[in-house]
Amino acid sequence: MASQQKQLPSPEESKAILKRVFDENWRRYFWRYALAFVFLVIVSACTAFPAWIVANIINDVFAKQDLDLAYYIAAAIFATFAIRGFATYGYLFVLGKIGNNIVARYQRRIYSHLLKLGIGFYKTNRSAYLVGQINQNIIGMRDMLNNVITVFARDLFTLVALTAVMIYRDPFMSVISLMVLPVLALIMSRYVRRMRKVARQEVDLNSKVTSSIVESAQGIEIVKSFTMEDAMSKKMNDLTITAEDRSNRIVQINAKTKPPTEILAGFAIGGVVAFGGYRVAELGHDPGGLFSFLTAAMLAYDPARKLASFRVSFERSLVNARMLYELLDTPERQADRPGAKALELKKGLIELKDVSFSYFKGEKILDRVSIRAAAGKTTALVGPSGGGKSTIISLLQRFFDADKGQILVDGQNINAVTAESLRNNIAYVSQQPMLFEGSILENIRYGRTDASDEEVFKAAKLAQAHEFIVEQPDGYETQVGELGGNLSGGQRQRLSIARAILRDAPILLLDEATSALDNKSELLVQEALDYLMQGRTTIVVAHRLSTVRNADRIVVIDGGKVVEQGTHPTLMRKRTGIYARLHGIGAEITPSNTKPRRKPPARKKVAHG
């Protein structure tokens, strides 16, 4: 039922959406719309002028054979068409610029809003689907605003001007011929409700098509590895067939408005020809006036048709606007509390006190977890997969809020400080390093956007990344490709570490930072991490226990609870403990990674520009 209500908004909701669209845009573009309005009125007047002048052509030029008047009329018609051409250029150019600015402005606005939404929003909404939906809906809103001004300034004024000519030439026949307009409007209203329902379905299905294409491109290695081509093709075929069916329904609804329009127009104009011919032949009425009336009536047909069918297409754009505002009205999650203050970091002591958490009120992931990560020391979180280790990393960055308990940094509850000040003091390196569109230099500089090139180079060297970067075709200006696809996993991870080094934050969070790397890459990455961890409050999530044996404190988490804590030697003495058992399982402890690592160079603080 809720879904149906979304598809079919009440008239009051539609009015509210329409008011919001115009409130946000009308005043901003008022003078430009006014200029377009003037051009459109000129186009309307130029369209009506030939219908007006045809009476003089018939009565004076043809009947009276006034050659001088013919030259004046010919010059006037030429000037009229020239003026209409320039006026048409004017309104198309002005409305085109307005439309492009509307698209750019809403793209910026939506992107800014998306960045403010919580991680939970993205866990329940596919990014590729969002992109497809956003693009369609913004273009729909642009078209709605431009169509409103075009239809009412050009088509309405053209119809009014031509109707004035008709009434001037023959008021009686004008009344008869214009009686079809209310009937036409009544017929068009039948298609409005159908358009609302189908338009939303079309946007949804086309977004799914876009989403499938993007996801297949990003996961092409998996698609080919598992020979999923046929299955993915079938899925895409099914989606496109359904999307095509909905698009055809829209085409059909629009097309169904044409037969009644044409029939009524033919009836009206045919009746005028028959009745007007009778009056000229039998009653001696002015033939020039009849031709002028007929010309105006036939020219009036096109704007009358557009006005009658406007509401059907308008409803489609209104659906786009409604879906766009549904996204813009999505509330921010984990928004700062009123009066939240900036985090005042002193030492970097992190404490979790009886923290419990579950995703979206589902199964409990953490159950009364208490951990103390000493300032400037390394605390490792280990344990079986699914125990809640990565969830702790997310909670520390306030991607989610704990259901119960407190997370403190130097005694300050992170829920009471601004998220920006908290995250500014954290450097994060994930298992899957994320690189963005742009160059290697730009990706490292995201760690601190005001850093100089020299600082970026230094961070890359400390992250063991400089050597492979300078070997790239364009060095630091090399484009990384989609999601860093033209770099190896180890190279992407070292760029991620360089970004963290450049940030120079006092708190470091490492979530499985070396688990996906081969031995050689792991050695280079681990050396970079050893440098990065010095003097920082570091929390490490690791499956490879050999990488955390030197941690100052190891916390074992199983089933969302802390089951063991201590150093590597003390935990190994508990031969029946989980940590000792996990260590015993590891055939992963090979001679190559049990050798003591080289002592990293002493860390020097990276200067802040």
Q: Give a three-class secondary structure readout of 590-605.
A: CHHHHCCCCCCCCCCC
**What percent of the chain is modeled with pLDDT above 90?**
4
pLDDT at 282 over 70: no
User: What pLDDT sits at residue 516?
Assistant: 57
CA distances from residue 579 to 513, 530, 548, 566, 576 in whole angstroms, order as listed: 20, 23, 12, 10, 9
Q: Give 217's pLDDT tier (boundaries 50, 70, 90).
A: low
Taking alpha carbons only, the member of 371, 369, 373, 379 closest to residue 350 is 373
Residues 568 and 594 sit within 8 Å (Cβ to Cβ): no
pLDDT in tens, 390-412: 889 889 988 888 889 999 999 89
pLDDT at 6 over 70: no
> Is 70 part of any domain?
yes
Q: Which amino acid is at 498?
A: A
Q: What is the rounded CA–CA span in Å between residue 396 and residue 414?
A: 8
pLDDT at 526 over 50: yes
User: What pLDDT sits at residue 351?
Assistant: 92
> Is 391 part of any domain?
no
Residues 6+ apart with CB under 8 A from 391: 357, 365, 366, 400
Q: What is the CATH number of the domain that holds 41?
A: 1.20.1560.10
Containing domain of residue 47, as a range?
A: 13-191+257-328
Give the largest CA-CA distance in the chain: 121
| Residue-level length of the chain | 609
User: What pLDDT sits at residue 607?
Assistant: 42
User: What pLDDT sits at residue 225?
Assistant: 56
pLDDT at 205 over 60: yes
Taking alpha carbons only, the member of 122, 125, 129, 126 closest to residue 400 is 122
pLDDT in tens, 440-472: 898 888 888 888 899 999 888 888 888 888 988
User: What pLDDT sits at residue 244?
Assistant: 76
User: What pLDDT sits at residue 595?
Assistant: 41
* Residue 37 or residue 123, greater confidence: 37
> Is 380 part of any domain?
no
User: What pLDDT sits at residue 399?
Assistant: 85
Residue found under tokens 């020299």 = 454
Q: What count of Cα atoms within 13 Å lies in the side-chain half-sphere of residue 500?
A: 33
Q: How many domains does the chain divide into?
A: 1
Residues 378 and 552 sit within 8 Å (Cβ to Cβ): yes
- The phi, psi pair for 479, rounded to 5°, reads -75, 135
User: What pLDDT sits at residue 28?
Assistant: 87
Pairing of strands 350-358, 404-409: antiparallel
> Is 288 part of any domain?
yes
pLDDT at 273 over 80: no
pLDDT at 163 over 50: yes
CA distances from residue 233 to 213, 354, 518 in whole angstroms, order as listed: 10, 49, 34
> Is 47 part of any domain?
yes
pLDDT at 602 over 60: no
Q: What is the rounded CA–CA span in Å between residue 69 and residue 553?
A: 103
User: What pLDDT sits at residue 564?
Assistant: 87
> Is 499 part of any domain?
no
Helices and strands: H and E segment counts in the chain: 24, 10
Q: CA dihedral defined by 261, 266, 271, 272, rounded to 10 degrees?
A: 90
pLDDT at 121 over 70: yes
Entry pTM: 0.69
* Residue 143 or residue 218, greater confidence: 143
Residue found under tokens 């180890």 = 490
User: What pLDDT sits at residue 5?
Assistant: 40
Query: Strands (DSSP E) along 320-415, which ranges?
Result: 350-358, 364-373, 378-382, 404-409, 412-413
pLDDT at 102 over 60: yes
